[in-house]
Copies of this chain bind each other. A is one copy, B any other.
Amino acid sequence: MKKKDLLKADLLKTKVEHVSLDTFNPVPLIEAMDKMAFQARNTARAAQIYEMMLKEKDCAVILCLAGSLVSAGLKKVIVQLLENDMVDAIVSTGANIVDQDFFEGLGFRHWQGTPFVDDNVLRELHIDRIYDTFIDEDELRACDDTCKKIADSLDPRPYSSREFIREMGSWLARKGKNKESIVLRAFEKDVPIFCPAFSDCSAGFGLVEHQYRNGLVGKPTMSLDSAKDFLELTRIKMDVKETGLFMIGGGVPKNFAQDIVVAADILGVDVGMHKYAVQITVADERDGALSGSTLKEASSWGKVSTTFEQMVYGEATVFFPLIAGYAYHKKAQKGRKPRRFAQMLELSPAARG
């Protein structure tokens, strides 16, 4: 092995392992936090609201994912929420779904690293850094390439990100090397996954190459229709009585999931606001940006009801397992039935475009 390869192997040595909700029971801690102040109390209230939305009959739970969650060891929590029917639809950044989850489904891993390192050295070694986590860039290219292959195999028409991600799930079911996967489990459970900015990830690289190479030889190509994403998610809102949002981070997933209330209204369908809403974030409201905007502010827009909403100011690797684990160990999922929204969307003629 060359010196460079040795160094690379040395840096990519300790795997990121995914925390499991079965490992710990946060219920006693959360119950104590409920009687305290600041973020402890906010966390407890958020956990209770997530429990409430799960226990309410006819309430669909939409999980929003932003930030580097899967690479940070939160994949299994999301897989467990899927397996236990604790989430009915997912809206995510592309990175979590493709670069991180699908990537691991292909058999690759994330590595424990450090922020105290020379990024120029990492680049030379083809190591990508996410704060204190390392990724093998060569493996990411293999992930991009798999997305291109999937695109090449599809009919040349507009797809919602959900449809494409479903194809990724099908691919993993057939050829995946790591069965603990959000994309795979969602495929099996018919839970739709939306990435409203889907070109902004590894899939985007695959699709760009698909369109470019086929464009050069005049072949028709598939396309990504983000308006279709919006219409499909709005259909879910129109299909259920109540909805609750469990948002990890802000960004496009937060805005997109909140907006479907307004979209349904524009389509002339009278739906209620999101009845429940919880957001874990470190963003600040004082810069006026969406990620840190309060759920109370969202209420002025007619998107979220203020009765059961809670912002939690904290970082997801710590707060997401606590809140999800509380509902899980309180067995809020008991008796909950899978909604299989993906089936509904597949059958909807308008959704097929």
Contacts and interface: CB of A to CB of B under 8 A. Distances in A.
Interface of A: 15-20, 23-24, 26, 28-29, 31-33, 35-41, 43, 66-68, 71-74, 93, 95, 110, 112, 115, 119-120, 122-123, 127-133, 137, 141, 144, 158, 196-200, 204-205, 207-212, 215-216, 221, 223-231, 234, 249, 251-252, 255-256, 259, 262-263, 266-267, 282-291, 293, 296-297, 299-302, 306, 313-319, 321-322, 349-350, 353
Contacts of A314: 314-315, 318
Contacts of A302: 123, 137
8 contacts: A41-B112, A71-B288, A199-B227, A199-B230, A200-B256, A200-B259, A205-B259, A205-B266
Nearest to A319: B318
B17 A35 contact: yes
A41 B16 CA distance: 10
A227 B316 CA distance: 29
A220 B121 CA distance: 52
A5 to B, nearest CB: 18
A243 to B, nearest CB: 17
A36 B227 contact: no
Nearest to A282: B287
B200 A288 contact: no
Given A38-B288, A197-B200, A252-B252, A350 B33 contact: no
A315 B211 CA distance: 38
A300 B136 CA distance: 11
Nearest to A148: B266
Given A288-B68, A297-B131, A24 B28 contact: yes
A72 B19 CA distance: 29
A129 B36 contact: no
A132 B290 contact: no
A162 to B, nearest CB: 12
Contacts of A127: 300
A284 B39 CA distance: 12
A208 B267 contact: yes
Given A68-B290, A211-B350, A252-B251, A132 B41 contact: yes
A28 B231 CA distance: 43
Contact of A204 (B18, B227, B296, B306): B227
A139 to B, nearest CB: 13
A273 to B, nearest CB: 9
B288 A221 contact: no
Contacts of A141: 266
Contact of A285 (B20, B122, B131, B283): B131
Nearest to A25: B24
Query: Closest 8 A-B residue pairs measured CB to CB?
Result: A36-B73, A40-B317, A215-B350, A197-B197, A17-B35, A223-B225, A37-B72, A207-B227
B208 A266 contact: yes
A227 B252 contact: no
Contacts of A66: 289
Nearest to A41: B132
